[in-house]
Chains A and B, each alone.
Chain A
Amino acid sequence: MHVGLSLMTEPPFVAAAMPLLEAGEVEVVEWSFDTTWGSGPPAWLQGLLDHFGDNDRLLGHGVSWSMLSAEWTPRHQQWLDKLRVEVATNRYQHVSEHFGWMTAGRFSRGAPMPLPYTPQLVQMGQQRMLKLKEAAGVPIGLELLALAFNRRDVLEQGRFLDDLLRPVDGFLLLDVHNLYCQLHNFRFELSELLDSLPLQRVRQIHVSGGSWDGQFRRDTHDHAVPDEVIAVLEGALQRCPNVRAVIFERLGDTLADPTTHEPFRADFRRIAEVVHGG
């Protein structure tokens, strides 16, 4: 099992992460490839993608496909066409996307939204996963969503994900901060939520911090990783036998203040310690 970073292009992220990269502490990297489609990744980042790709330590992550948008648009097809070019350019071990949907009608960008579990939506999602598998040419997976509208959405997300992943032998990307959001916002016990998920399918884990909106926990990737999320990581690792990579996520522009850089690195090292049993 390897520990790594989700790469960001913002200069503050580079400044904060460089000591970890230079020291060889980052064992694997994840790149959200569709964030720079059009402009292309900066040269320094392409160098990292090449280095980690050549060492079988590069993971791909999509953020904008919107796999459960019911209306199939030219944008969806173009995204798959660009993915084919992306996987021919960079050597990804696997590619993941988000469960949920973000575009519809007049909206061409957004944030992942939940949907209720219904046979109609499962069937549509399974067709989308086949398209993703064909375009990616490497193992594909889906990330657990943070936002849910009600307790039933939370409890049924595992079944929904399993139904989508099973036909393509896909993997679950378990985001433990998203799990923490659901635990807190809908008052679940960790064991109850873990029991609802296809844990045998977990191949990758995300760890991040977030923020509070009143008493509601949000997955904003903008603050330090709280102790409670580290505890969720520890609990999840005990139940997930097939994890290959644990990735720390932090938005680059939230590291503009240089005093946040050392705490960022401390978060990374704490995660590495948990993963490697330190």
Chain B
Amino acid sequence: MEVDWAHVQAELLEIFWQCDTAAEVRAAAAAGQLGPEATQWLERSADKPLEVACKLVKRWGHRRE
């Protein structure tokens, strides 16, 4: 089944923008609409890279209001 990766990527960046910890990322992902494939991908992820992704998006991300 096709995954709507455009939607997944937009959701992920919003989650990384709003969260600081892996636990927050996982909770937000579980409550969101990432779909089964992207959710499983995040479930396989280690905690620290998710935390670093949050830092990277806040450091380099430019978000339109």
Could you list which residues of chain A lie within 8 angstroms of chain B, going by C-beta atoms? 69-71, 101-102, 104-111, 113, 115-116, 118, 120-121, 124, 147-150, 152, 185-186, 213-216, 218
8 contacts between A and B (CB under 8 A): A71-B6, A104-B9, A107-B64, A113-B9, A149-B41, A149-B45, A150-B46, A150-B49
Measured between C-beta atoms, what is the minimum distance from A137 to chain B in Å? 29
Binary flags per residue of B1-20, CB closer than 8 Å to A gives 1, else 0: 01111101111111001000
- Chain B residues with Cβ below 8 Å from A109 are 60-62
Smallest Cβ-Cβ distance to A110: which chain B residue = B61
B52 contacts which chain A residues (CB < 8 A)? 147, 213, 216, 218
A183 to B22, CA, bound (A): 21
A106-B10, A106-B14, A110-B62 as given contacts; A70 in contact with B49, CB under 8 Å: no
Interface contacts (Cβ under 8 Å), in number, total 98
Q: Which residue of the partner chain A has the closest CB to B49?
A: A149
Q: Which of B12, B45, B59, B60 contacts A104 (CB 8 A)?
A: B12
> CA–CA, A124 to B9, complex, Å?
14
* Given contacts A105-B13, A106-B14, A113-B12, A150 and B44 within 8 Å (CB-CB): yes
- Does A107 lie within 8 Å of B48, measured CB to CB? no
Number of chain B interface residues as a range: 20 to 34
Shortest beta-carbon distance, B22 to chain A, in Å? Answer: 10
Assuming the A-B contacts A149-B44, A149-B45, are A108 and B64 also in contact, with contact meaning beta carbons closer than 8 angstroms in the complex?
yes
Residue B57 lies at the interface, judged by CB distance under 8 Å to chain A? yes
Provide the bound-state CA to CA distance between A105 and B9, in Å: 8
- Are A118 and B3 in contact (CB-based, < 8 A)? yes
Q: Judging by beta carbons under 8 Å apart, are A104 and B6 in contact? A: yes
**Contact of A118 with B37 at beta-carbon distance under 8 Å, contacts A71-B6, A216-B52 already known:** yes
13 further A-B pairs in the complex, CB-CB below 8 A; given A106-B10, A185-B48:
A102-B60, A105-B14, A107-B61, A107-B62, A109-B61, A109-B62, A110-B13, A113-B53, A113-B56, A120-B5, A147-B52, A152-B44, A213-B48
Q: Mark B27-63, 1 if CB is under 8 A from A, else 0.
A: 0000000000100011011101110110111011111
Residues of B within 8 A of A113 (CB): 9, 12, 53, 56
A152 to B17, CA, bound (A): 25
A108 touches which of B6, B9, B62 (Cβ 8 Å): B62
Residues of B within 8 A of A102 (CB): 60
B5 to A, closest residue via Cβ:
A70
Partner of A150 from B3, B9, B11, B45 at Cβ < 8 Å: B45
Closest beta carbon of chain A to B21's beta carbon, Å: 13
* Nearest CB on A from B1, distance (A): 9
- CB-defined contacts of A152 to chain B, threshold 8 Å: 44
When C-beta atoms are compared, the residue in chain B nearest to A214 turns out to be: B48
Whether B48 pairs with A216 at a CB distance below 8 angstroms is yes
B24 CB → nearest A CB, Å: 15
CB distance from B20 to the nearest CB of A (A): 13
Which one of A105, A110, A120, A124 lies within 8 Å of B60 (CB-CB)? A110
Give the shortest distance, in Å, between B29 (CB) and chain A (any CB). 12
